[in-house]
Amino acid sequence: MASAHAKTTRPGEIVRTLVMGIWLPAIFLAGLLGAFLPAFHHPTPHHIKIAVAAPPAATAQLQQRLDTAVPGGFTLRSVDSAAEARSAVLNNDAVAAFAPAPHHAQLYGAKADGVALETMVRQVFTSAAQSAGATLDFHELVPTRPGDTLGTSPFYLLMACTLPAYFLVVTMQRAVGFGRRAHVATLVGGGAVAALACYLTGAYGMDAIPRHPLSLVYLFLLTQSVSLTSYGLVSFLGPLFPGASVTLFIMLSVPSSGGTVPVDLLPGFFRFLHPVLPMGNAADALRNVDYLGERQLGRPTAVLCAWVALGAALIVLGYVKHLRRLVREARAGVTEYVSVPPAEDPSVELPEPVALPPHQHHFGEQPPMLTGRVGGPAGEPLPGVTITVTDPHGRQLVHTRTDRHGEYAATGFHDGFAVVVAGAPGREPVATRLLLSTETPPVNQDFVLMPHRPAVPGHASSH
Count CB atoms within 10 A of the CB of residue 101.
16
**Looking at residue 203, what DSSP letter applies?**
I
Percent of the chain with pLDDT over 70: 86
The pTM (predicted TM-score) of the whole model is 0.74
Range with lowest mean pLDDT among 5-9, 186-190, 261-265: 5-9
Structure-model confidence comparison of residues 339 and 68, the more confident one: 68
Residue 1 pLDDT more than 50?
no
Assess contact for 31 and 250: CB atoms under 8 A.
yes
Assess contact for 368 and 361: CB atoms under 8 A.
yes
pLDDT, residue 204, reads 95
Range with lowest mean pLDDT among 162-176, 275-289, 322-336: 322-336
pLDDT band at 387 (very low <50, low <70, confident <90, very high): very high
pLDDT, residue 96, reads 95
Q: In the sheet where 74-79 sits, what is the strand order? A: 74-79, 48-53, 96-99, 104-109, 135-140
Q: What is Dmax (Cα atoms) for the chain?
A: 125
Average pLDDT, the chain: 85
Count CB atoms within 10 A of the CB of residue 15.
10
Residue 65 pLDDT more than 70?
yes
Q: What is the secondary structure of 335-392 as a DSSP string?
A: GG----PPP--TTSPPPPPEEE-TT---TTSPPPSEEEEEE-TTS-B-TT-EEEEE-T
Residue 24 pLDDT more than 90?
no
pLDDT, residue 278, reads 97
Assess contact for 374 and 385: CB atoms under 8 A.
yes
pLDDT band at 330 (very low <50, low <70, confident <90, very high): low
pLDDT, residue 442, reads 85
Helix axes 213-237, 180-199, angle to 10 degrees: 150
Please report, for residues 318, 329, 392, the alpha-carbon distance to residue 332 in angstroms, rounded to integers and kept in the order given: 21, 5, 12
At position 441, the amino acid (one-letter code) is P
pLDDT, residue 343, reads 41
* Residues 299-317 as b or e (16 or more Cβ within 10 Å = b): ebbebbeebbeebbebbee
At position 114, the amino acid (one-letter code) is G
- Calculate mean pLDDT across residues 422-434: 91
Structure-model confidence comparison of residues 272 and 149, the more confident one: 272
**Which candidate, 380, 358, 376, 375, places its Cα nearest to that of 367?**
358
Residue 29 pLDDT more than 80?
yes
At position 65, the amino acid (one-letter code) is R
CA dihedral of residues 90, 95, 97, 100 (deg, nearest 10): 180
pLDDT, residue 417, reads 86
- Calculate mean pLDDT across residues 116-123: 92
pLDDT, residue 7, reads 44
The Cα 296–Cα 173 span in angstroms is 38
- Calculate mean pLDDT across residues 140-146: 90
Percent of the chain with pLDDT over 90: 54
**Which candidate, 122, 123, 113, 157, places its Cα nearest to that of 258?**
113
**Which candidate, 77, 101, 79, 239, places its Cα nearest to that of 170?**
239
pLDDT, residue 9, reads 53
Structure-model confidence comparison of residues 260 and 463, the more confident one: 260
Helix axes 153-172, 278-291, angle to 10 degrees: 140
pLDDT, residue 13, reads 66
E strands within 82-122? 96-99, 104-109
pLDDT, residue 364, reads 47
pLDDT, residue 441, reads 78
Domains, in order of start, for the chain:
48-140 (3.40.190), 148-320 (no CATH), 354-448 (2.60.40.1120)
Phi/psi at 105 (5° precision): -75, 155
pLDDT in tens, 78-107: 999 999 999 999 988 999 999 998 888 999
pLDDT band at 365 (very low <50, low <70, confident <90, very high): low
Residue 113: helix, strand or coil by DSSP?
A: helix
The Cα 192–Cα 134 span in angstroms is 54
pLDDT band at 340 (very low <50, low <70, confident <90, very high): very low
E strands within 165-292? none
pLDDT band at 336 (very low <50, low <70, confident <90, very high): very low
pLDDT, residue 54, reads 94
Partnered with residue 49 across adjacent β-strands are 75
pLDDT, residue 177, reads 59
H/E element, 430: strand 430-436
Residue 214 pLDDT more than 90?
yes
pLDDT, residue 17, reads 67
Residue 410 pLDDT more than 50?
yes
* Residues 383-405 as b or e (16 or more Cβ within 10 Å = b): eebbbbbbbbeeeebbebebbee
